[in-house]
Structure 1
Amino acid sequence: MTKRYMTAVFEYDEGAELPRLITEAFSSETMAFHDAKVTAVSMEDEITRVEKLEQLEQQIED
């Protein structure tokens, strides 16, 4: 079976349950979360961070 990956950024209020559940899954031995395997976790908005880096790179090239 072909492996697939998904990147998502969640905005949540302090105390929300989803971040805790995902973090617990990542720290578990199997890293399972429902029917998927957690392969990476960041507590930052990585998509925005990459977009800013790409903008900086474009400015340098111009």
Structure 2
Amino acid sequence: MPFLNPLTGYAFTKISGCPENQAILLSFLNAVPGLAPPFRIQQVRIQNPYLAPVTPKTKPG
């Protein structure tokens, strides 16, 4: 995916939301808070990276 800005939600989800890029996601999750080796995240499970937005028409109630 060339020319996508990884700071946008769409691009971030495309980069980190697929199992093939799990190493990239783990590296990011450990680098942001600066976790020390005994507290580093070892594994992630991606359940659903695509959540529909809540709008007045889709809002329950």
Given the two structures, how large is their TM-score scaled by the length of structure 2?
A: 0.33
Given the two structures, how large is their TM-score scaled by the length of structure 1?
A: 0.33
Identify which of structures 1 and 2 has the higher relative contact order when contacts are C-alpha pairs closer than 8 Å and 6+ apart: 2
Higher strand share: 1
